[in-house]
Amino acid sequence: MTFVDLNNLKEYELAKGVRARIINCESMSISYVTLDAGVDMPEHKHINEQVVNVIEGELELTVNGESRVLKRGVVEVLPPNVPHGAKALTECRVIDVFQPVREDWVAMMKSS
């Protein structure tokens, strides 16, 4: 078993106003994300199943053209390859879990 102190992890800027501390495990990636209020993440998709867990703030998540506001205690499960985007209505803290591992993040972390 491995213990990780998030305070000791490097913070990556994934996009303007979006910062994350990332853990890549054998079969999944977990990101602890802070989004500045007003940040708009354009629609995208990826091969990973994703679980979006807002722990602070309000995040408007649009999946296949349908929008919902996620708040603390509301979780969205996204199947692989589903178009989605998000807008931070307030400053947000989000835990995202991806399965399988985000290979793009593995490469990003190795190169920095």
CA gap 81, 35 in Å, rounded: 23
Going by pLDDT thresholds of 50, 70 and 90, the confidence category of residue 2 is confident
What is the per-residue pLDDT for 97? 98
Q: How many helical (H) and strand (E) elements, i.e. helices and strands, does the chain have?
A: 1, 10
Domains of the chain: 18-111 (2.60.120.10)
**Contact between 101 and 30 (Cβ < 8 Å):** no
**Contact between 52 and 85 (Cβ < 8 Å):** no
Residue 106 phi, psi dihedral angles, 5° rounding? -60, -45
Cis ω on the peptide bond leading into residue 80 (within 30° of 0)?
no
What is the per-residue pLDDT for 87? 98
Tokens of 103: 């290979």
> What pTM value is reported for the model?
0.93
